[in-house]
Amino acid sequence: MTTTQHHHAPITTPEVGGIGHNVRRIEDDRFIQGAGNYLDDIVLPRMLHMVLVRSPLAHATINSIDTSAAEALDGVVAVVTGEMLAGYNLAWMPTLSGDTQAVLATDKVRFQGQEVAAVIATDPYVARDGAELVMVDYEPLDAIVNPMQGLEPDAPIIRDDLEDKADNVAYEWEAGDAGATAEAFATADRVVTIETHYPRSHPSPLETCGVVADVSPVTGQATIYMTSQAPHAHRTVFALVAGLPEHNIRIISPDVGGGFGNKVPVYPGYVVATAASLVLGAPVKWVETRTENLISTGFARDYYMKGELAVTAEGKILGLRVDMVSDQGAFYADAQPTKTRAGLFHIVTGSYDYPAAHVTTKGVYTNKAPGGVAYRCSFRVTEASFLIERLVQNAAYELGMDPAEFRKRNFIQPDQFPYHSPTGFVYDSGDYETALDMAMDMIGYEKLRAEQARARAEGRLMGIGIASFTEVVGAGPSGEYDILGLKMFDSAELRVHPTGKAILKLGVKTQGQGHETTFAQIVAEELGIPATDVKVVHGDTDNTPYGLGTYASRSTPTAGAATSMVSRKLRSKAREIAAHLLEASPEDLEWEVGAFHVRGSPESSVTIQEVAFAAYTNHPPGMEAGLEGVHYYDPPNMTYPFGSYIVVVDLDSGTGEWKVRRMVAVDDCGVRINPMIVDGQIHGGLAEGFAMSNMQWITFDEAGNCIGSNFMDYLVPTAWETPRFELGETVTPSPHHPIGAKGVGESATVGSPAAYVNAVIDALAHIGVRNIDMPVLPDRVWQAIRDHAE
């Protein structure tokens, strides 16, 4: 990996390890030595094992469920059905988007893999044997496997459980200004159109989802170990669903082996195991198999998008119109802010400046698994970014312009920030042309174009694809963003102990992003306490302040800001204590990371550790003892990370295969706290973008059978096929974030798919190819070449 940098020197020493230091990941010691503690590592006395019986059909009425053979099996303790749950009012539960979802099906099944019954046994093998013995009599119904089918007038109604539901529409929503957009299109010289399907994929974290529910029928205390990206929000949902008093619910999300949004929803297995534990008076463990994870849990994308760009002959964009239909599966179980039904899809105007845009969206129920928000996608920004970056490339072709030049003519300029987008966002900061120039420089853009001209003359196919994306992350300001009414602030609680060592408790929850290191570095930056002296605690609702969790690249923009703010609160108090120790007035003290000294006499100084000791041993009269605090941070705005990616591919016209020759990624996520961790996040996202563009999708046959229910059919690239990445960075701080940071966890997943696809299309643009849907499989490339051969 090569890295080109433009950042500022750290203000702390490497020993302190504040912002800008590549502090080695503190959590890795336990992970690489096998001392992590994942959900399946949790074993409690008398623990029972649960296995779910799932529907083999995508759409069917349930005539009857016969559990007698399963119950008769030696070792089976109980078989739970939806009918039994209905007795506790638990057969249905709310989704995070305000819809309802069946916990165990009572009336009919609505997707293949839906939860129908649960077998609880003394060991997991017997539980599986028992699950095979549960006899369900189904009456098959026609399955709806794409949203267009679902919108047909005579389509069967999937959600006949909803009162008065006469169609399969889950939601409709629009953004922007239809009238102004129509005017822009009326004056355009050209309209460039693209229709594309962003296919269904799955984040497939290596650790599948699971729970160990331990509910005491005596005290009512419910301790629920759960693979959760949002333990506090989940606790509240549990309180609402199960009617358990919230102070008696303790959610513990132990080490989480990857989330990517897959561990945001509440799954039926969690609820059934908890109810079973309450009824049986013993802990109940449920851990999904790989297939269960792939066929039933939060998928990603599945958007059918039509985009139209109005442009002038000179290459200026005048307006954008987008119509989108999304396949939501059987339940609307995205986690979307209440006010924005298609999430933040309306960021689709991208990095470009034009006055008008109009976005219409429609979510449709189908007989497929619910979900949609997952896979490192900040609320549907991935689809949006893909669409606009594909459109601008095609616009350049239609105008006979270079795609880089077309972008530069339309970029929002640095002096336009804060920039008000036509769909209502206020971009905080950006410098798009600098990032694109850096990427072009790194890859040698002009030379590559010259090579491409020669290659075409020789009949060789190569392509160069660009994506200059803008992301919107860090949900979010409480006026605009909530999940089920819970405002999307986040929190940090900091205690500095007498010996100067600290404990930082967060409302967010890492799944591999390195929070235990990054957040300690923020404290190090603000207080001068070495990062390795700060223990980060998260994931246990009894021991951390309330927060909405980690997803949508929101942890640094929200909890990172909260960490900064609480550290500053402590620094103010530390100043008072230091003044007391130095017998000076607080205003006369100067702070240099880690110590206060009296202005003009540097020898008269106390360290933060000395201050901490004094906070418990010698605090000023009239002041509260201790050095601790909590901060709930309500961000004033979202943050808008951006970047420019360039991919070079070589294409085999015989087989349609394409190989990435080079991939350059310039990212700007504002100030980088731990640059090494940021690079790691970007690598992961670039690999995922490659996966989606090259090989990865979940397909269904006409009956709604899921093709892609295991890793032989659902493809996750290995180190072998993943391209080598060359990273560059620019730093444009967020003006409203306390340390100028923006989120970065999803940038590369959002930005890179278009770059790869654009490169393949670019290889074929001269023969007239303008679109190949993802994944850009060899047979699709081969077909496109055939279709465009003279």
Partner 1 sequence: MYPRAFDYVAPETKQEVLDILAERGGEVKVLAGGQSLIPMMKLRFASPGTLVDINRLSGLDSIDIQNGHLRVQALARHSDVVRSDVVAAENDAMASAAPWIADPLVRNLGTLCGSVAHHDPEGDWASVMLACDAEVVAESRDGGERVIPIAGFLVDMFTTSLQPTELVTEVRVPRYRRGGGNYQKLERKIGDYATVGVATHLELDDAGSISNAGIALTSVYAHNLKVTDAEQALVGNAPSVELFAEAARIAAAACDPTSDVRGSAEYKRDVVRVFTERGLTASLAAAQG
Return the active site residues. 229, 376-377, 746
Q: What is the 8-class DSSP label of residue 625?
A: S
Site string for partner 1, 275-314 (x = CB under 8 A): --------------x-x-----------------------
- Min CB(657)–partner 1 separation in Å: 7
| Residue closest to 745 by CA, chosen among 336, 488, 387, 378 | 378
Identified binder of partner 1 from the candidate list 35, 655, 771, 787, rule CB under 8 A:
655
Identified binder of partner 1 from the candidate list 142, 323, 398, 657, rule CB under 8 A:
657
Q: What is the 8-class DSSP label of residue 557?
A: I
- Helices within 256-302 (DSSP H only): 268-280, 290-296
Give yes or no for residue 654 binding partner 1 (CB under 8 A): yes
Q: In the complex with partner 1, which residue's Cβ is closer, 74 or 583?
A: 74
CA distance 206 to 691: 15
Identified binder of partner 1 from the candidate list 36, 94, 98, 124, rule CB under 8 A:
124
- Min CB(719)–partner 1 separation in Å: 9
Strand boundaries in 479-626, DSSP class E: 482-483, 486-487, 490-496, 502-506, 534-537, 589-592, 595-598, 601-607
Backbone angles phi, psi at 530, to 5 degrees: -55, 140
Pick the stretch among 126-134, 173-181, 556-564, 622-630 that binds partner 1 (CB under 8 A): 126-134
3-state helix vs strand vs coil in the chain, percent to 5 = 30, 25, 40
Among positions 617-646, residues that touch partner 1 (CB under 8 A) are none
Pick the stretch among 34-42, 58-66, 725-733, 771-779 that binds partner 1 (CB under 8 A): 771-779
Count the neighbouring beta carbons within 10 Å of the beta carbon of residue 455. Answer: 17
Q: Which amino acid is at 595?
A: A
Give the HSE-up count for residue 13: Cα atoms under 13 Å, Cβ half-sphere. 8
- The structure tokens 């989120």 sit at 743
Count of positions on this chain that bind partner 1 (CB under 8 A)? 29
**DSSP states of 123-145:** SHHHHHHHHHH-EEEEEE-PPP-
- Min CB(128)–partner 1 separation in Å: 5
- The structure tokens 């081969």 sit at 782
- Min CB(686)–partner 1 separation in Å: 16
CA distance 630 to 475: 20
Site string for partner 1, 731-770 (x = CB under 8 A): ----------------------------------------
Pick the stretch among 490-498, 505-513, 594-602, 717-725 that binds partner 1 (CB under 8 A): 717-725
Identified binder of partner 1 from the candidate list 4, 13, 61, 128, rule CB under 8 A:
128
Q: In the complex with partner 1, which residue's Cβ is closer, 58 or 102?
A: 58
Taking a C-beta distance cutoff of 8 angstroms, is the pair 242, 275 a contact? yes
- Min CB(619)–partner 1 separation in Å: 59
- Min CB(699)–partner 1 separation in Å: 6
Q: In the complex with partner 1, which residue's Cβ is closer, 413 or 655?
A: 655
Identified binder of partner 1 from the candidate list 455, 584, 703, 777, rule CB under 8 A:
777
Count the neighbouring beta carbons within 10 Å of the beta carbon of residue 248. Answer: 14
- The structure tokens 């078989």 sit at 79
Among positions 676-715, residues that touch partner 1 (CB under 8 A) are 695, 699, 707-708, 710, 712-713, 715
Q: Which residues lie closer than 8 Å to 551 by C-beta, 6 or more apart? A: 229, 230, 259, 261, 264, 335, 373
Backbone angles phi, psi at 206, to 5 degrees: -60, -40
Pick the stretch among 479-487, 586-594, 636-644, 651-659 that binds partner 1 (CB under 8 A): 651-659
- Min CB(697)–partner 1 separation in Å: 8
Q: In the complex with partner 1, which residue's Cβ is closer, 738 or 778?
A: 778
CA distance 128 to 618: 63
- Min CB(404)–partner 1 separation in Å: 31
Q: In the complex with partner 1, which residue's Cβ is closer, 221 or 705?
A: 705
Residues that bind partner 1 (CB under 8 A): 124-125, 128-129, 132, 289, 291, 654-657, 695, 699, 707-708, 710, 712-713, 715-718, 720-721, 777-779, 782-783
